[in-house]
Amino acid sequence: MSSNVECCTNQDSLQSVASKMESLNVGAIPVVENGQVVGMITDRDLALRGIGNGNSNISQVMSNNIVTIDCNASLQEASSLMAQHQIRRLPVVENGNLIGMLSLGDLAVQDQSDESAGEALSQISQNDIK
């Protein structure tokens, strides 16, 4: 899990979010309000719904049905959630506040979850093909 997560707000410009993604070499940034995750904006969101379509408002571009996981959940629960919801990144929360980000890659490097990460990736990839 990455615990030093850069965030943005609805007030940030799409250009500043795109620049932040580039400088941090990340493909997604959570959108937070009062410490709580209210959305997620990905490089794909920017390409498909953002800058190219003339949108300038983050809330028009971000995904807002965000799945999060509690910091006390197991890696198995995390990989199951990722597979079930077809997501590669999972915001980690404590008492509703963002404290980290868990990626599919994070799961893959954990010895005890190699099988779970592979399973989650397989399920995510199968639905990407459809």
98, with CB counted inside 10 A (0-12, 13-18, 19+), is middle
CATH number corresponding to 7-66: 3.10.580.10
CA dist 67 and 44 (Å) reads 18
What CATH superfamily classification does 68-130 receive? CBS-domain (3.10.580.10)
Do 68-130 and 7-66 have the same topology in CATH? yes
- Place 77 in a pLDDT band, splitting at 50, 70 and 90: very high
CA dist 48 and 59 (Å) reads 14
pLDDT digits (tens, 9 = 90+) for 45-62: 888 887 666 667 888 899
pLDDT-above-90 percentage for the chain: 46
Give the residue among 75, 9, 82, 80 at the shortest CA–CA distance from 39: 9
pLDDT digits (tens, 9 = 90+) for 104-124: 888 877 655 455 555 655 555
pTM of the model: 0.78
Tracing tokens 């197991």 back to the chain, one arrives at 74
Assigned token pair, 126: 């199968």
In the chain, where the domains are located: 7-66, 68-130
91, with CB counted inside 10 A (0-12, 13-18, 19+), is buried
pLDDT digits (tens, 9 = 90+) for 1-57: 888 899 999 989 888 999 999 999 999 999 999 989 999 999 988 888 876 666 678
Assigned token pair, 77: 């629960």
